[in-house]
Amino acid sequence: MEFEYTHRAARQFSKLPRFVQKRIAKKMRFYASQDDPLEFAEHLTDYREGEYRFRFGDYRAAFDVQNGRIVILKVGRRDQMY
């Protein structure tokens, strides 16, 4: 399954420290290579920021699945996400 970032999420991602960007990118490639990446995701109860989320240590990525693609809507520290 492929993934893409919205403009907003790409901007948020670019503001993160470089080592965090590398960790998130590596983990996203891992998730995208799996048969069912949603098995690693948590379903969110409040859909305003996305239907699912991935966890990367203290960072989170909220996303939706659209047309067989993971669309990253928001990326940030855990305390700033919700």
Domains and CATH numbers, the chain: 2-81 (3.30.2310.20)
Judged on CB neighbours under 10 Å (0-12, 13-18, 19+), 60 is: buried
Helix axes 18-33, 7-14, angle to 10 degrees: 130
- Residue 53: pLDDT band (50, 70, 90) is very high
Question: Rounded to two decimals, what is the model's pTM?
Answer: 0.89
What is the rounded radius of gyration, in angstroms, for the C-alpha atoms of the chain? 12
Mean model confidence pLDDT for the chain: 93
* pLDDT tens digits along 23-41: 999 999 999 899 999 999 9
